A and B are shown apart, each in its own frame.
Chain A
Amino acid sequence: MSLQVDDLRVYYRTLKGDVKALDGVSFSMEDGEILGLAGESGCGKTTLGKSLIRMDGRMRHIGGTVELDGRELPIGDDRRMNDFRFREVSLIPQYSMSAMNPTRKIGRMVRELLRSRGATLDLDELESRLSLVELPHAVLDRYPIELSGGMKQRMVMVISTLLDPSLLIADEVTSALDVSTQKAVARALIGFRDAGFVKSMIFVTHDLALTSHIADTIMVMYAGKLAEKAPATAIVKKPRHPYTKLLLDSLPEVGVRYTDKRLAGIAGSPPSLLDPPAGCRFRDRCPIAGEECAQEPPMAEIEPNHFVACWKA
């Protein structure tokens, strides 16, 4: 087992109190697995992605553990976490378009980054990986501003995976791209996994349709908790959680992505995470909610590898 997350709780500190963005999340990932992480904006999926590599200043690790390849990640300790970053856990950020220092030639930046991590640049390896994503070797001698959006995206993918991390977090990497480029990026990510550059990958997105093409497993989050986790085909063909069903229904058609707005298809809005209600958090919007939903539903494995947190599933 490559990644094991146990009852992870990460809160945001705000004036009004703690926002419980991750409230007891447990799951595991196999070696070589690509996990699609989906849900509305604000459901905690980005928080989960950040928690695994670098929390921002307002995030607090409240409880729970993360184990990667049998070693516990010190996710609450920014300094100790540094040893794991890049080498064990790496990130393709949402902001790939602006992730590279604008005033350094890309090649020089990569060399300086690697040296600062005590690694030396294997130029042949780097160039072969550039070829893999169809980037000319000359990009190393350019400034980021001279690259197109798609090129920058691929360049960042290559940089992030240079040290062959065990876990790669791809955070909304496709949201800034057009449909055909999205597909190319998704293919490249699978290629990276198949080539062994990364062992496993978490693909954070709000685009359920795209996720189903690239992920082996899909995990749906709602209001800081897991709703459902199952193999990609099972989620798409036989969703069990009412939220997953509504999410799929609200897709106009496969391949067209909806924007990061509130889902038109689901009435109401997610509960405030400042003081979330007891019981199932989807209860207020759920078409089939009943008495028992006042109790929090446990995560149950209703079929092999198909987990659902719903009394009615």
Chain B
Amino acid sequence: MRRYFGRKLLVYGLTFFVAVTVNWMIPRFMPGDPVSSMVARTGASNPAAAETMRVYYTNLFGFDQPLWKQYVNFWAALFQGDFGISIWVFPTPVSEVILGAVPYTLGLMIPSVLLSWVVGNWFGAYAARRKVLDNTLLPVGYVLTAMPYMWLAVLLAWGLGVVAGWFPVAGGYSFSMQPSWSWDFILDLLHHWVLPFSSLFLVALGGWAIGMRNMIIYELESDYSNYLAALGAPQRLIRRYAFRNAVLPQITGLALQLGVLVAGALVTEIVFSYPGLGSLILKAIQNQDFFLLQGAFLFIVLGVLIANFIIDIVYVVVDPRTRAGMAGAAA
């Protein structure tokens, strides 16, 4: 078990290292001079402001220093939580801007990912090898999982928001409100949360249901299922065992899908102008705010790594074989 976690942590450590390095390299090795293009693209009308920015960026990139020194400085700044200053909301530190958006993204993602996983697994397991259900669930599942996240988001916003008028289609809360811990505000928050949540939930649901259905069918063909059936065990018991075993690859699958789920959340937020990381990234791109963009990137990588580690721990709890100190989980 120690070896299992050791390997995982090594991979995550290396991943973080690679991510930071890529983040550092891209502005430096892409064609063109990032500083002047950045300053130019911000379109700062005030020449003094433009000059301030130029000096600031040149210092920050440290182009006058040798490359290795730039790299070391980059890491040093990172460990002090210094991601630079945002251009879009100059001069707020990037870390502050991002921390303001993270709760919205997490509030959207955690419930939708967990619920879609649980419900999808349940549906898939229930439908497998039950002809009528299977024949209806499968096409629906495939359509859902093939949908671009933003498209379902647009459809829901249009249908239930614009046409039916049941839900607001933009923002995390009403413009007229000030964030506070009042019931009114919380209800308003929830009201705005429903549509983006549903769209994330639905797209992910299809994939989990299909995955579970396939895994269950595979498990029902397995030797232990055949043995139980040969000893006359009822379908109920066989299915229960199959489910338990099929859930394990689904947990691994959750880790594999994290990147896709994050991407889905980002574009869904953009559709609903939901004030999370996705909208922030859109703003960063529109305003050529590269520090904000790179900061958001590192935050996402960090979040995915932490989520991966949590999933690893859950896996060890659920799969007895990893605890028994035997080979079991795929690396």
| A interface residues with partner B (beta carbon < 8 Å) | 53-54, 81-87, 90-91, 93, 95, 98-105, 112-113, 116-117, 142-143, 145-146, 156, 159-160
The reply to whether B245 and A101 contact each other, CB–CB distance below 8 Å, is yes
From known contacts A98-B222, A101-B224, infer whether A85 and B326 are also in contact, taking CB-CB under 8 Å.
no
Closest residue of B by beta carbon distance from A171: B230
Closest residue of A by beta carbon distance from B242: A101
User: Roughly how many angstroms separate A90 CA and B232 CA in the complex, as a whole number?
Assistant: 9
How many residues in B have their beta carbons less than 8 Å from beta carbons of A? 24
A65 to chain B, nearest CB (A): 21
User: Roughly how many angstroms separate A100 CA and B321 CA in the complex, as a whole number?
Assistant: 14
The reply to whether B241 and A85 contact each other, CB–CB distance below 8 Å, is no
Q: What residues on A are CB-neighbors of B228 within 8 Å?
A: 101, 113
The reply to whether B328 and A104 contact each other, CB–CB distance below 8 Å, is no
Give the contacts of B232-252 with A (CB-CB under 8 A): 232-234, 236-237, 241, 244-245, 248
Q: What residues on A are CB-neighbors of B248 within 8 Å?
A: 103
A-B complex: 10 closest residue pairs judged by Cβ atoms: A85-B232, A99-B227, A98-B223, A86-B231, A95-B223, A82-B232, A116-B237, A54-B230, A91-B230, A86-B232
The reply to whether A93 and B226 contact each other, CB–CB distance below 8 Å, is yes
Q: What residues on A are CB-neighbors of B224 within 8 Å?
A: 98-102
Which of A81, A87, A90, A102: most chain B CB closer than 10 A? A102
User: Roughly how many angstroms separate A103 CA and B324 CA in the complex, as a whole number?
Assistant: 11
| B interface residues with partner A (beta carbon < 8 Å) | 222-224, 226-234, 236-237, 241, 244-245, 248, 319-321, 324, 326, 328
Query: Could you name 12 residue pairs across A and B whose Cβ atoms are closer than 8 Å?
Result: A98-B222, A100-B227, A102-B224, A103-B248, A103-B321, A112-B237, A116-B234, A116-B236, A116-B237, A117-B231, A145-B328, A156-B227
Per DSSP, are chain A's interface residues mostly helix, strand or loop, or mixed? Answer: loop
B220 to chain A, nearest CB (A): 11
* Contacting residue for B227 out of A82, A93, A142, CB 8 A: A93
User: Roughly how many angstroms separate A86 CA and B244 CA in the complex, as a whole number?
Assistant: 24
User: Roughly how many angstroms separate A116 CA and B231 CA in the complex, as a whole number?
Assistant: 10
Q: What residues on B are CB-neighbors of A81 within 8 Å?
A: 232
User: Roughly how many angstroms separate A300 CA and B237 CA in the complex, as a whole number?
Assistant: 47
Q: What residues on A are CB-neighbors of B223 within 8 Å?
A: 93, 95, 98-99
Q: What residues on B are CB-neighbors of A86 within 8 Å?
A: 231-232
The reply to whether A85 and B324 contact each other, CB–CB distance below 8 Å, is no
The reply to whether A102 and B245 contact each other, CB–CB distance below 8 Å, is yes
The reply to whether B232 and A117 contact each other, CB–CB distance below 8 Å, is yes
The reply to whether B237 and A113 contact each other, CB–CB distance below 8 Å, is yes
User: Roughly how many angstroms separate A104 CA and B244 CA in the complex, as a whole number?
Assistant: 9
User: Roughly how many angstroms separate A104 CA and B238 CA in the complex, as a whole number?
Assistant: 12
A150 to chain B, nearest CB (A): 17
The reply to whether A85 and B227 contact each other, CB–CB distance below 8 Å, is no
User: Roughly how many angstroms separate A87 CA and B232 CA in the complex, as a whole number?
Assistant: 9
* Contacting residue for A102 out of B227, B231, B321, CB 8 A: B321
- A101-B228, A101-B245 provided; 18 other pairs, C-beta below 8 A? A53-B230, A91-B230, A93-B227, A95-B226, A99-B226, A101-B224, A102-B245, A103-B244, A104-B241, A105-B320, A112-B237, A113-B231, A116-B236, A116-B237, A117-B233, A145-B321, A145-B326, A156-B227
User: Roughly how many angstroms separate A99 CA and B244 CA in the complex, as a whole number?
Assistant: 16
A158 to chain B, nearest CB (A): 13
B316 to chain A, nearest CB (A): 13
The reply to whether B231 and A101 contact each other, CB–CB distance below 8 Å, is no
The reply to whether A146 and B232 contact each other, CB–CB distance below 8 Å, is no
